[in-house]
A = this chain, B = another copy of it.
Amino acid sequence: MARPREFDEGAVLDAAIERFWLRGYEATSVRDLADEMQIAGASLYNAFGDKRGLYAKALNRYLDQTFRERIRRIEPAMPPREAIEVFFKEIIKRSLSDKQRRGCMLVNSAIESAPFDPGFLSIVAIFLDEVEAFFLRCVSKGQKDGVVTRAHSASDLSKSLLGILLGIRVLARVRPERALLEGLLRPVLAMLDDARGPRGSLSR
């Protein structure tokens, strides 16, 4: 029994993601956001509380729409060793086609906004756990299937993959070059293979 919203929350959140992703939290003003979202400042505050609340919602939506979507789509669709490879190759492809050098909003948040905001830090830390868990499932399954090396624990390997993922996304923001990102990935994927030789790699 009141006046309804004139905007679609998902659409304006996508616009907010765009600004925050490109410029970060501090360098994006509420006026920038309201312009990009095509709503008035008062509507922004009415709907999302404050700049902080908007950022948290935008970050969560970003994670859902990019990483979580990717994991949900890839993991059940192919064997674990391939899932890891496709996961990384999709991310490199996106990094190379990112003409604005936005990089990765997760990494940007982890570096810029999370360290001094417990709410942001929690979102980032929890999600890093999710990615590590995804890698861990893939590596463990791959080891059981005999397509991933047992020379290292699944725990260590999944941590290495997490580290490489973050490194790729840093480079995506500052040196998004095909030779760099694809060259970087080759030894890492081979690291998963048994010393007796790879089995199940898409790259052969």
Contacts and interface: CB of A to CB of B under 8 A. Distances in A.
A183 B156 contact: yes
Contacts of A40: none
Given A107-B111, A166-B167, A195-B195, A187 B160 contact: yes
A112 to B, nearest CB: 5
A12 interface: no
Interface in A145-203: 151-153, 155-157, 159-160, 162-168, 170-171, 173-175, 180, 183-188, 190-191, 195-196
B103 A111 contact: yes
A121 interface: yes
Contact of A101 (B24, B26, B115, B195): B115
A166 B170 contact: yes
B107 A190 contact: no
Which applies to chain A's interface (DSSP): helix, strand, loop or mixed?
A: helix
Interface in A56-81: none
Interface in A95-129: 101, 103, 107-108, 110-112, 114-116, 121, 124-125, 128
Each complex incorporates copies of this chain amounting to: 2
Contacts of A107: 111, 170
B186 A116 contact: no
Given A167-B165, A180-B159, A173 B101 contact: no
A42 interface: no
B167 A184 contact: no
A89 interface: no
Contacts of A151: 187, 190
Contact of A152 (B128, B162, B187): B187
Please give me the 9 A-B residue pairs with the lowest Cβ-Cβ distance, nearest first.
A163-B167, A167-B167, A26-B26, A166-B167, A159-B184, A166-B170, A111-B111, A195-B195, A156-B183
